[in-house]
Amino acid sequence: MEQNLELQAEIDQLKTQLTGDLFSDMDLKDQIHNLEMKLNGVRPMDSHIDCVGCGS
d(CA 37, CA 6): 14
For residues 35 and 41, give the distance between their C-alpha atoms in angstroms, rounded to a whole number. 10
Q: Considering just the CA atoms, what is the radius of gyration of the chain in Å?
A: 12
- pLDDT digit of tens for each residue in the chain (56 aa)? 788 999 999 999 999 999 999 999 999 999 999 999 888 877 655 555 555 555 55
Residue 1 to residue 24: CA distance in whole angstroms: 32
Report the distance separating Cα 38 and Cα 47, nearest Å. Answer: 10
